[in-house]
């Protein structure tokens, strides 16, 4: 099994290079918009097609509605869920007073204050993935919701532990952070805890702030098509 992944979004190879090393946590700063979760779903789905496990950590939407969203783009996730390759960490539904239960592929967390439960669930998923593959993808959406309920220091402490676990277990993926929602000190501290930062604006223009690998392209635009994103 290779120690790097392909980012899998058409054209984005020029930014993230053809093979991106595993064990990296990237920050994706973006205005709150629905395209962000589509980006996450495509990133995870691309890995699943290659046999790489993936976990989507959602604080702003239910896995059920994200699953439907993915299906609209032709990304069926249920097969991978049945094979144990795809997991959801749902930090949204219980907090939103929905009457939901855990399933084989969906682990529900009590709410954004339950950081201990979140770290336990991440550890359990990591250990399950280890039996299936050397590396896995993750998408954490979003740190801004975590910051709505927790103090910045609490989130830093959480990230300090979680990013190191993700890196050591060969995870590779994105944490999202709302653009313009937090003060500069928070942005900078979170950037400091990550291996790289990429920024998106409302027109889906992407710019690289820093990356752990050399990149040929530092600016470009994501276009959302019926089959997913294309970067140009």
Partner 1 sequence: MPFSDSMLLWASPGLESEPFIMELLETHLKKGLKAVLCVTDKPSQAFIEQAENYGYKLSKHLGKSLFLINFYEKLINNEGLESLKRLVKKKIKVLGNDSLVCFNNISTLINLFGFKAVSELIFLKKFVNEQGGRFICSFTEWPYTSDLLIKLRKSFDNRVYLNTVNEQKYYSFKKNGSFTHLLFDVNKPGGVTSLKPRLVVIGPKGSGKTSFIKALSDCSASIDYLSNDFGIDHAEFKYKDRVIDLFGAPGDDYEPVIELLGSSVSGVLVMIDSSRPETFSKARRIVESVRERGFNVVVGLNRVKTGVNDVKKKVGLNSVPLIVSEKGSNHDEIFSKLLSY
Contact residues: partner 1, CB under 8 A: 94-95, 97, 101-102, 108-111, 113-117, 119-120, 122-123, 127, 149-151, 153-154, 157-158, 160-162, 165
Angle between helices 184-193 and 152-168 (to 10 degrees): 20
Give the shortest CB-117-to-partner 1 separation in angstroms: 7
Give the shortest CB-165-to-partner 1 separation in angstroms: 7
Closest CA to 132 of 86, 78, 166, 70: 86
**Which residue, 154 or 201, is less far from partner 1 as judged by CB?**
154
**Which residue, 65 or 127, is less far from partner 1 as judged by CB?**
127
**Which residue, 164 or 232, is less far from partner 1 as judged by CB?**
164
CA distances from 121 to 19, 45, 144, 155, 176 (A): 28, 21, 20, 17, 19
**Which residue, 122 or 177, is less far from partner 1 as judged by CB?**
122
Give the shortest CB-204-to-partner 1 separation in angstroms: 33
Give the shortest CB-94-to-partner 1 separation in angstroms: 5
The stretches of 92-206 forming alpha helices (DSSP H) are 115-130, 143-149, 152-168, 184-193
Give 3-state DSSP helix, strand, coil % of the chain, rounded to 5: 35, 25, 40
Q: Which two tokens stand for residue 60?
A: 């702003």
**Which residue, 48 or 190, is less far from partner 1 as judged by CB?**
190
CA–CA distance, 59 with 36 (Å, rounded to integer): 13
Give the shortest CB-80-to-partner 1 separation in angstroms: 23
Provide CB contacts within 8 A for 116, sequence distance 6+: none
């Amino acid at each position: 099994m290779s120690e790097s992944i392909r980012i899998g979004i058409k054209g984005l190879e020029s930014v993230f290079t053809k093979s991106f090393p595993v064990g990296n946590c990237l920050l994706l700063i973006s205005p709150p918009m629905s395209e962000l979760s589509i980006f996450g779903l495509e990133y995870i789905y691309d890995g699943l097609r290659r046999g790489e496990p993936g976990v989507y950590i959602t604080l702003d939407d239910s896995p059920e509605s994200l699953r439907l969203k993915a299906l609209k783009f032709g990304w069926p996730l249920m097969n991978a869920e049945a094979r144990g390759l795809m997991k959801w960490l749902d930090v949204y539904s219980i907090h939103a007073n929905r009457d939901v239960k855990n399933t084989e592929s969906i682990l529900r967390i009590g709410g954004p204050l339950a950081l201990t439960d979140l770290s336990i669930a991440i550890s359990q998923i990591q250990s399950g993935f280890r039996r299936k593959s050397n590396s896995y993808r993750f998408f954490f959406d979003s740190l801004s919701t975590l910051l709505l309920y927790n103090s910045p220091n609490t989130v830093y402490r959480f990230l300090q532990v979680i990013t190191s676990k993700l890196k050591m277990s060969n995870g590779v993926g994105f944490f999202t952070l709302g653009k313009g929602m937090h003060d500069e000190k928070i942005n900078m501290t979170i950037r400091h805890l990550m291996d790289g930062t990429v920024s998106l604006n409302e027109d889906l223009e992407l710019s690289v702030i820093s990356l752990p690998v050399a990149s040929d392209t530092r600016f470009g635009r994501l276009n959302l098509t019926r089959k997913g994103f294309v970067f140009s």
